[in-house]
Amino acid sequence: MGEKVLLVDDEEEFLELMEERLVARGIEVSKSSSAEDALSRIETDMFDAVILDLQMPGMNGLEALRQIKERRPEIQVILLTGHATVEKGVEAIKLGAMDFVEKPADLEVLEEKIIRAHKKKMLIVEKDSQERVIDALKKYGI
C-alpha cells in the first residue's frame, strides 16, 4: 500500500512541482491551495499525511494543524515553511505536528518523513481497531 498525502500550499507553481516530484517517487498526491479546502478534503478522503504550508492567506498552518488534529487525529501533519522559527516549530509539535521541513524542501528528507508518517498512521489505526475489538468483547461479555 503506497503513501497518500494532501499537499497544501497557496503557491500554485510550488504545488505543481511538488506533486510531480512526489508522484515520480510513487506517492499518491492530492493538492489543495487553502487550509479551508484542506479541512473539507480530510473529511471525505483518507490521507496518511498532510504536508501543510505554515504561511498562507486566510487560515494559517498552525490553526489548520489544530483543526486537522481535532477532526482526524490519526493523520500525520508535516509543516512546510520558508519562515521556520524555533517558537513556531515548538508550537507545531505541541499541537500535534509530526515534523516540519524548511522550503525549499529536500525531496529525500520529505519522502522519508512521508514514509514515517504512513507507518505512524497505520500503527495508530491498528491500535484504535484493537481497542474497539476489546471494548466490544467486554461489552458483550465475551
The domain spans of the chain are 4-139
pLDDT at res. 98: 92
* pLDDT of 16: 94
- Backbone phi, then psi, for 115, in 5-degree steps? -65, -45
Cell, residue 79: 509543516
- The architecture in CATH of the region 4-139 reads 3-Layer(aba) Sandwich (3.40)
Closest to 10 (Cα-Cα) out of 30, 27, 35, 29: 35
Q: Which pLDDT tens digits describe the chain residue by residue (142 residues)?
A: 589 999 999 999 989 999 999 999 999 999 999 999 999 999 999 999 999 998 889 998 899 999 999 999 999 999 887 766 667 777 888 889 998 888 788 889 999 999 999 999 999 989 988 999 998 888 887 7
Q: Is-contact 78 117, C-beta < 8 A?
A: yes
Q: Among candidates 70, 61, 50, 45, which has minimal Cα distance to 118?
A: 50
Q: Are 49 and 118 in contact (CB under 8 A)?
A: yes
| 68 vs 39: CA distance, rounded Å | 7
Q: For residue 142, give the C-alpha cell.
A: 465475551
Torsion of CA 60, 34, 109, 105, to 10 degrees: -80
Q: Which residues contact 13 (CB under 8 A, 6 or more apart)?
A: none
